[in-house]
Structure 1
Amino acid sequence: MSVENSVETKPLDLAPGEGRAIWHMGALMVFKATSADTGNQFWLAEQTSNLGYASPVHLHTREDELFYVLDGELSIEIDGVMHHPSTGGTVFAPRGLAHSYKVESETARWLVLGTPGGFDGWFFDTGKPAERLEVPAFNPAGFPDFGEVIASVEAYGGKVLGPPRGTGD
């Protein structure tokens, strides 16, 4: 029995290492499912970043995010409350709440799920195809203008509230 769906979606089956890989502001992101793959229901990316990598404090008005740590340790602040997931840990960041995250181990690898879909377009718009499946070398000249980042996030219903916090304190 099939359920009626207003958007036709197809099953998705990716092997380890497969997916749309991009380098995004110092991170490797491999999208295991995009909004286009799921009829805009969600997107799922595996992110790998090195010690100290951090997001600015921001919020989403259209989607919730879920973080599942595969390897390493993160600190994630949500609405003023600090969370410290390590391997196997899960943290949920509901839409509308300010949050940021920081890599606290030498490297960390985690899944990030956004639902409903749509925000993954921001990563594709502001990242570039990964040349290799590894975290890119740090290159401050390759980072976009912060004003441009703020404007591009707002186009996807997000809001940047400030620079990364010292979430490891």
Structure 2
Amino acid sequence: MEQASRRSVLKHLSATVIGMTLIPSQPLNAAPTAAQKPFVVRGAEGRGAEHYRMMGFDLYLKVAGKDTDGQLSVFAGEYHRHDGPPLHVHYQQDEEFYITEGEFLVQVGEERFTLKAGDLIFLPRNIPHSFLTLSETGKMVFMTHPSGTTEMLFKQLAALPPTATLAEVEKLHLAHQCRIVGPKLTAG
């Protein structure tokens, strides 16, 4: 029963994502620039082999901004206990996190939520947020819209050496319309 429920939620989530890409962002007579063909991105693969290893966890680009005329990017993340980014804010993008496995603590503004497989949270732009993996492992699908430069931010963060300073990380965030505003979350 739980598997069927999860499939149902994923089907509805997919329909929502697809529907969002159909909302015209250009005049009706303008030709879309995104590919008009379906595609499949399997399990631990990224669109165009885009895989980002950063802060100890793996992110895979599933739907690129170029696929949606910049309206949406979709990522899948694989995490281990205590993984998560520092508290940060996006100035031009909303996000949604859909938990597919494990348990996460998510902070949005001053509120904290514990999310498990099947849960989704909407993160409005301009509100600081972060998450912490509470289970041994966890997976989530997350979307940013509009796409903005999140894909480039992740690519540049993944390219930083392990000796990168916080100042270097903060500089990249600022270049991509977001800012680190606090430390990583901790359990307790």
TM-score (norm 1): 0.85
**CA separation in 2, counterparts of 1:27 and 1:85?**
19
Q: What RMSD, in angstroms, separates the aligned Cα atoms of the two structures?
A: 1.8
**CA separation in 1, counterparts of 2:65 and 2:163?**
25
Q: Does 1:159 align with 2:179?
A: yes
1:94-135 CA deviation, whole Å, 9 max, x = no partner? Answer: 00001110000001010010000022210012215xxxxxxx
Paired residue secondary structure (1:13): coil
Change (3 A) 1:12 1:121: farther
Q: Does 1:34 align with 2:76?
A: no
- Point out the more displaced range, 109-118 or 15-24: 15-24
Q: Does 1:65 align with 2:90?
A: no
Extract unaligned runs of 5+ from structure 2.
Answer: 1-23
The aligned counterpart of 1:123 is 154
CA contact (8 A) 1:12 1:37 kept: no
- Following superposition of structure 1 onto structure 2, how do residues 91-106 of structure 1 map, counting pairs within 5 Å? 91-106=121-136
Paired residue secondary structure (1:163): strand
**CA separation in 2, counterparts of 1:63 and 1:97?**
10
Paired residue secondary structure (2:112): strand
Tell me which structure has the larger Cα radius of gyration. 2
Paired residue secondary structure (2:65): coil
Query: How many equivalent residue pairs?
Result: 155
The aligned counterpart of 1:110 is 140
The aligned counterpart of 1:9 is 34
Greater RCO (CA < 8 Å, at least 6 residues apart): 1
Change (3 A) 1:160 1:16: same
Post-superposition shift, 1:154? 0.6
**CA separation in 2, counterparts of 1:40 and 1:112?**
16
Extract unaligned runs of 5+ from structure 1.
Answer: 129-140
Change (3 A) 1:75 1:143: farther
- Aligned AA (1:53): D
Post-superposition shift, 1:16? 2.1
TM-score (norm 2): 0.76
Extract structure 1 runs of 4+ deviating beyond 4 A. Answer: 2-7
**CA separation in 2, counterparts of 1:109 and 1:150?**
25
* Larger helix proportion of the pair: 2
CA contact (8 A) 2:106 2:129 kept: yes
Change (3 A) 1:38 1:75: same
